[in-house]
Structure 1
């Protein structure tokens, strides 16, 4: 019983080790699901250019509401339906009891993946860096039908990479084998190299916004 209480205390500490989050960028991407077009949408990310361990992803539901997903990779998550109006404020307050623990369950997978730099690509007469995230074991990838993630970066931006796929973020956290820069496109391809989904940058704006979880 004593050990159980210690575990509960530790989990609580992880979830609420930070209660004030700063965001300095609002980044819009056009999300395309190549298998289910009905899921196509605009995704808006609120980020801290100096700290990619947390972000907010916002998807508009209708003329009044959005769905947000806030993830702190150090141990907290929130999914919630909110009014568009809250984004008119520079400070967003979230009740502590709405935050849930967010343990990363696939630690054992970190050694099974890596980032691989490929040739630069040219878009609108400008060269951009390309990085792929893929399995270390090609045979295993074929057996499990594992695809790969392709990121295209504009390294003119001083922004830690926005890695919303949790395993990619955890590998980056350990290896740091990914340049700073703005992700202008990302593409998930299946084992047959067919596109599963894509995200393409629409616009980026500088902002000043805080998310606060009152004690």
Structure 2
């Protein structure tokens, strides 16, 4: 978020979604993060049918800074209409080989649902995620700055999930 705070988002598909701001100092000192019922915790993906409009495509490996990286793309294969009310495009993920121990990080619910169906993409944490719009222009790009192994517990009160 900035130099003092992290903006954290927690998602457990079809169960929990929460977003919170926490100071970096508190984050690194705490053993766990307690979510309260103040957050919108119940989550359900109402767009599972969209998986018919998308597919993963494995791309050739690439070399960046003398390191071999794997890549794949989540692309829209549905019917293209001139004007859409939602952003239709594709995401390209460039994966660090050294993170193959980790399941893919899929921040979009449709990407997660598509992965659940066939799991044909490589494991790993993306070093870059690029979103291309329907005209194949880069709309935004995430670049991983650092990756650290930590152990934190996320506590969600049971009674919050029943709301």
Under TM normalisation by the shorter chain, which class is it?
0.7 to 0.9
Unpaired runs of at least 5, structure 2: 159-163
Q: Is 1:101 paired with 2:42? A: yes
Cα gap change, 1:185/1:212 in structure 2, threshold over 3 Å: closer, same or farther?
same
Counterpart position of 1:74: 14
The corresponding residue for 1:171 is 114
Contact 1:141 1:191 in 2 (8 A): no
Preserved contact between residue 147 and residue 188 of structure 1 (Cα < 8 Å)? yes
**Partner residue, 1:84:** 24
Q: Check the 8 A contact 1:142/1:191 in 2, yes or no.
A: no
Residue among 118, 122, 130 paired with 2:59: 118
Secondary structure (helix, strand or coil) at the match of 2:143 reads strand
Normalising by the residue count of structure 2, what TM-score does the alignment of the two structures yield?
A: 0.83
Greater strand proportion: 1
Root-mean-square deviation (CA), in Å? 2.1
Count of equivalent residues: 154
| Unaligned 5+ runs, structure 1 | 1-58
- Considering fraction of residues, name the structure with more helix: 1
* 2:69 matched residue in structure 1: 128
Relative to structure 1, is the Cα distance of residues 141 and 182 closer, same or farther in structure 2, using a 3 angstrom cutoff?
A: farther
Q: CA deviation at 1:94?
A: 1.8
> Is 2:121 the partner of 1:151?
no
How much has 1:182 moved relative to structure 2?
Answer: 2.0
Instruction: Classify the secondary structure of the residue corresponding to 1:207.
Output: coil
Structure scoring higher RCO (CA < 8 A, sep ≥ 6) equals 1
Give the Cα–Cα distance (whole angstroms) in 2 for the partners of residues 207 and 166 of structure 1.
25
Distance (whole Å) between structure 1 residues aligned to residue 65 and residue 7 of structure 2: 33
